[in-house]
Chain A
Amino acid sequence: MTAPLDAPHVDVDSIPLDRMDVSDPKLYQDDVWWPYFARLRREAPVHYCRQSLYGPYWSLTKYKDIMQVEVNHQVYSSASELGGIAVEDQPKDMDRPSFIRMDPPKHDEQRMVVSPVVAPGNLANMEGVIRERTARVLDGLPRGETFDWVDRVSVELTTMMLATLFDYPFEDRRQLTYWSDVAIANVRSPDAPVHSEEEKFAELTKMTEALGKLFNERAQQPPKFDLLSMLAHSEATRNMPFREFMGTLSLLIVGGNDTTRNSMTGGLMALNEHPSEYQKLRDDPSLIPSMVSEVIRYVTPVIHMRRTATADGEIGGKHVKKGDKVVMWYVSGNRDPDAIEDPDNFIIDRPRPRQHLSFGFGIHRCVGNRLAELQLRILWEEIMQRYPVIEVMGPAKRVYSNFIHGIRSLPVRIPA
Chain B
Amino acid sequence: MPKITYVEYGGREHRVEVPLGLSVMRGAVDNNIPGIDADCGGECACATCHVYIDQEWLGVTGMPVPGSQEASMLSFAALAQPNSRLSCQLKVSEALDGLVVRLPEGQH
**Cβ contact within 8 Å between B78 and A67:** no
Chain B residues, CB < 8 A from A173: none
Chain B residues, CB < 8 A from A144: none
**Cβ contact within 8 Å between A70 and B105:** no
Decide yes or no whether A240 CB sits under 8 A from chain B.
Answer: no
Decide yes or no whether A116 CB sits under 8 A from chain B.
Answer: yes
Decide yes or no whether A19 CB sits under 8 A from chain B.
Answer: no
**Cβ contact within 8 Å between A362 and B41:** no
Decide yes or no whether B79 CB sits under 8 A from chain A.
Answer: yes
Bound-state CA distance A270–B69 (Å) is: 36
Say what secondary structure dominates the interface of chain B. Answer: loop
**Cβ contact within 8 Å between A71 and B44:** yes
Residues 109-142 (chain A) with a chain B CB within 8 angstroms: 111-112, 115-116, 118-121, 123-124
Chain B: CB-nearest residue to A354: B39
Q: Which of A104, A120, A361, A370 meets B40, CB within 8 Å?
A: A361
Decide yes or no whether A386 CB sits under 8 A from chain B.
Answer: no
Over the window 325-368 of chain A, the binary record of Cβ atoms lying under 8 Å from chain B Cβ atoms (1 yes, 0 no) is 00000000000000000000000000010110001011101010
Decide yes or no whether A108 CB sits under 8 A from chain B.
Answer: yes
**Cβ contact within 8 Å between A363 and B73:** yes
Using A71-B45, A115-B78, A355-B41 as known contacts, say yes or no to A120 and B106 having CB atoms under 8 A apart.
yes
Bound-state CA distance A367–B75 (Å) is: 12
Bound-state CA distance A112–B105 (Å) is: 18
Give the size range of B's interface with the partner. Answer: 20 to 34
Over the window 151-163 of chain A, the binary record of Cβ atoms lying under 8 Å from chain B Cβ atoms (1 yes, 0 no) is 0000000000000
**Cβ contact within 8 Å between B40 and A355:** yes
Chain B residues, CB < 8 A from A71: 43-45, 69
Chain B: CB-nearest residue to A361: B45
**Cβ contact within 8 Å between A120 and B76:** no
Bound-state CA distance A363–B40 (Å) is: 13
Using A67-B43, A71-B43, A355-B40 as known contacts, say yes or no to A121 and B69 having CB atoms under 8 A apart.
no
Chain B: CB-nearest residue to A120: B106
Bound-state CA distance A119–B108 (Å) is: 7
Give the size range of A's interface with the partner. Answer: 20 to 34
Bound-state CA distance A104–B47 (Å) is: 17
**Cβ contact within 8 Å between A361 and B105:** no
Using A354-B39, A363-B73 as known contacts, say yes or no to A120 and B46 having CB atoms under 8 A apart.
no
Chain B residues, CB < 8 A from A367: 76
Chain A residues, CB < 8 A from B48: 354
Decide yes or no whether B83 CB sits under 8 A from chain A.
Answer: no
Bound-state CA distance A361–B40 (Å) is: 7
Decide yes or no whether B37 CB sits under 8 A from chain A.
Answer: yes
Chain B residues, CB < 8 A from A108: 72, 75-76
Chain A residues, CB < 8 A from B27: none
Chain B: CB-nearest residue to A371: B108
Chain B residues, CB < 8 A from A67: 40, 43, 45
Chain A residues, CB < 8 A from B44: 71
Bound-state CA distance A369–B72 (Å) is: 18
Chain B: CB-nearest residue to A339: B41
Over the window 66-108 of chain B, the binary record of Cβ atoms lying under 8 Å from chain A Cβ atoms (1 yes, 0 no) is 0001001101101100000000000000000000000011111
What's the minimum C-beta distance from A23 to chain B, rounded to whole angstroms? 25
Bound-state CA distance A118–B77 (Å) is: 11
Q: Which of B39, B107, B108 meets A118, CB within 8 Å?
A: B108
Using A355-B39, A370-B108 as known contacts, say yes or no to A365 and B45 having CB atoms under 8 A apart.
yes
Bound-state CA distance A118–B79 (Å) is: 11
Using A104-B72, A355-B39, A361-B40 as known contacts, say yes or no to A120 and B45 having CB atoms under 8 A apart.
no
Bound-state CA distance A355–B88 (Å) is: 15
Chain B residues, CB < 8 A from A121: 105-106
Bound-state CA distance A116–B78 (Å) is: 7
Chain B residues, CB < 8 A from A118: 78, 108
Using A120-B106, A352-B41, A355-B40 as known contacts, say yes or no to A365 and B78 having CB atoms under 8 A apart.
no
Chain B: CB-nearest residue to A353: B39
Binding site for B on A (CB under 8 A): 67, 70-71, 104, 108, 111-112, 115-116, 118-121, 123-124, 352, 354-355, 359, 361-363, 365, 367, 369-370
- 4 more contacts with CB within 8 A, not counting A67-B43, A123-B106, are A71-B43, A71-B44, A354-B37, A361-B46
Q: Can you offer 30 A-B residue contacts whose CB atoms are under 8 A?
A: A67-B43, A67-B45, A70-B45, A112-B76, A116-B78, A118-B78, A119-B78, A119-B79, A119-B106, A119-B108, A120-B78, A120-B104, A120-B108, A121-B105, A354-B37, A355-B39, A355-B40, A361-B40, A361-B45, A361-B46, A362-B45, A363-B72, A363-B73, A365-B45, A365-B46, A365-B47, A367-B76, A369-B108, A370-B106, A370-B107
